[in-house]
């Protein structure tokens, strides 16, 4: 893996940072308090190409490789994880599976709109009683003539109230993973209802919601991939999502590091800057090493993905390490800030609240360890 960034990658990174410092960072606390990101940010992000990264130009994307994708996610994570989630769910968890499994018509329709930011998507796998054990989901899709009728309930769906299209995973066959299919459901379909979940610990600007599906009718052509391929599609999306999330977590760690370095030079105690205390430098060193290690793990997975090699276990390792490291870094950052870290005058408390969910969603840390353990031993702990 060549770690030298190309001029194109460096120029995208610079543009992204300048844009986010101007359009997102000054507003992130206000969006966090209001529990809503301003939707006007979506077309602006689209203009810079965030929604089209790694999507071919023939479908409205800006192409770009997976390292550029990681650079984009890292910058978004550093600026505001709520905004990162909007991009990584719409483009990563909805756009990518359409690119991988969709018909030409689905690609020209939904993928093009997602890649250009003229539509946003959400990904509905989790149900009130089914989280980590997704292969046992209970939402049903029953074929009636040329249509499917979907009934069920989903929970914790990112972008849910904003999305124009939802990838709904529903059972079309028998029990287990092979009985699940995926559908592209326009969110204005009768029977598709959403209720926003307020009062989250972090990612407060992001629209997370419950979805109620009652007799939702879609044409058979709304199926994504083949009947029974739904679980495979979900895992395909989540493997890619874990690379994105790992890169986003690198952004959180770097955001914490930057904030602590700056604060430790300006804040004095005992007549000296905090930066001169060995125990503060210890915290800074921990964050700095974690940032590098997490980035290298994310880039390794991205590089394998780019080259068409198997990358799932490497994505799990990157997601596991980077998310746990983001929680550690944000906790240390609050410690280094002292009491000022506990209020929202500085960004570190928000970094901690936003980091906390990253060890939970897109596969908890425990699930990542089971995937890594299965790869190491050849024995599955899931059955």
Q: What is the contact mask toward ligand FAD in residues 184 to 223, using x (rule: CB under 6 A)?
A: ----------------x--x----x---------------
Instruction: Work out which of 116, 158, 187, 368 binds ligand FAD, going by CB under 6 A.
Output: 158
Instruction: Work out which of 357, 358, 368, 371 binds ligand FAD, going by CB under 6 A.
Output: 357
Question: Minimum distance from CB of 336 to ligand FAD (Å)?
Answer: 26
Instruction: Work out which of 123, 320, 346, 351 binds ligand FAD, going by CB under 6 A.
Output: 123
DSSP letter (8 states) at residue 53: B
* Residue reference for tokens 């990838």: 167
Which tokens go with 148?
């499917």
Per CB under 6 A, does 360 bind ligand FAD?
yes
Instruction: Work out which of 31, 69, 101, 156 binds ligand FAD, going by CB under 6 A.
Output: 156
Distance CA 335, CA 325 (A): 15
Instruction: Classify 99 in phi/psi space as left (phi over 0), alpha (psi -120 to 50) or beta.
Output: alpha
Report the residue number, 217 or 369, with the smaller CB distance to ligand FAD.
369
* Residue reference for tokens 């999507």: 55
Label residue 19 exposed, middle or buried (CB < 10 Å: 0-12, 13-18, 19+). Answer: middle
Q: Which stretch binds ligand FAD (CB under 6 A): 75-83, 97-105, 321-329, 354-362?
A: 354-362
Per CB under 6 A, does 31 bind ligand FAD?
no
Per CB under 6 A, does 89 bind ligand FAD?
yes
Report the residue number, 108 or 136, with the smaller CB distance to ligand FAD.
136
Could you give the angle at which helices 312-337 and 348-356 cross, rounded to 10 degrees?
A: 150
> Do 177 and 148 contact (CB within 8 A), yes or no?
no
Q: Judge whether 324 counts as a catalytic residue.
A: no
3-state secondary structure of 377: helix
Report the residue number, 136 or 288, with the smaller CB distance to ligand FAD.
136
Per CB under 6 A, does 359 bind ligand FAD?
no
Q: Which stretch binds ligand FAD (CB under 6 A): 18-26, 68-76, 151-159, 179-187?
A: 151-159
Distance CA 348, CA 339 (A): 11
- How big is the CA angle at 44 (ends 361 and 259), to the nearest 5 degrees? 60
Catalytic position from the list 74, 127, 314, 362? 362
Label residue 58 exposed, middle or buried (CB < 10 Å: 0-12, 13-18, 19+). Answer: exposed
Question: Minimum distance from CB of 111 to ligand FAD (Å)?
Answer: 18
- How big is the CA angle at 162 (ends 157 and 164), to the nearest 5 degrees? 95
- Interface residues with ligand FAD (CB under 6 A) are 89, 123-126, 131-132, 156-158, 200, 203, 208, 357, 360-362, 364, 366-367, 370
Catalytic residues: 362
């Amino acid at each position: 893996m060549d770690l030298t960034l190309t001029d194109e990658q460096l120029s995208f990174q610079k543009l992204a940072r300048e844009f986010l410092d101007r359009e997102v960072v000054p507003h992130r606390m206000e969006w966090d308090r209001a529990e809503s990101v301003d939707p006007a940010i979506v077309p602006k992000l689209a203009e810079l190409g965030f929604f089209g990264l790694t999507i071919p130009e023939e479908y409205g994307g800006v192409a770009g490789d997976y390292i550029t994708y990681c650079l984009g996610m890292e910058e978004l994570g550093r600026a505001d994880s709520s905004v990162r989630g909007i991009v990584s769910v719409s483009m990563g968890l909805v756009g990518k599976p359409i690119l991988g499994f969709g018909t030409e018509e689905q690609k020209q329709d939904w993928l093009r709109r997602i890649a250009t930011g003229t539509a946003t998507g959400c990904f509905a796998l989790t149900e009130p009683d089914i989280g980590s054990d997704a292969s046992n989901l209970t939402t049903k899709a029953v074929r009636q003539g040329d249509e499917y009728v979907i009934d069920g309930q989903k929970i914790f769906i990112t972008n849910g109230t904003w999305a124009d299209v939802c990838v709904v995973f529903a059972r079309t066959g028998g029990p287990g993973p092979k009985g699940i299919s995926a559908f592209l459901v326009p969110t204005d379909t009768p029977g598709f209802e959403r209720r926003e979940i307020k009062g989250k610990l972090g990612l407060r600007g992001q629209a997370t919601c419950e979805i109620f599906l009652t007799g939702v009718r879609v044409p058979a052509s709304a199926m994504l991939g083949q009947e029974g391929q739904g679980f495979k599609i979900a895992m395909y999306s989540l493997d890619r999502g874990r690379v994105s999330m790992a890169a986003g977590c690198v952004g959180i760690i770097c955001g914490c590091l930057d904030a602590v370095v700056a604060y430790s030079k300006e804040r004095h105690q005992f007549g000296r800057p905090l930066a001169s205390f060995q125990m503060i430098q210890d915290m800074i060193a921990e964050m700095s090493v974690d940032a590098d290690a997490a980035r290298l793990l994310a880039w390794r997975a991205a590089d394998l993905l780019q080259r068409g090699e198997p990358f799932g276990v490497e994505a799990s390792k990157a997601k596991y390490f980077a998310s746990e490291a983001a929680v550690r870094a944000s906790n240390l950052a609050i410690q280094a800030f002292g009491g000022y870290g506990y209020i929202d005058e500085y960004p570190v408390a928000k970094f901690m609240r936003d980091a906390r969910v990253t060890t939970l969603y897109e596969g908890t840390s425990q699930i990542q360890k089971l995937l890594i353990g299965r790869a190491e031993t050849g024995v599955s702990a899931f059955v």
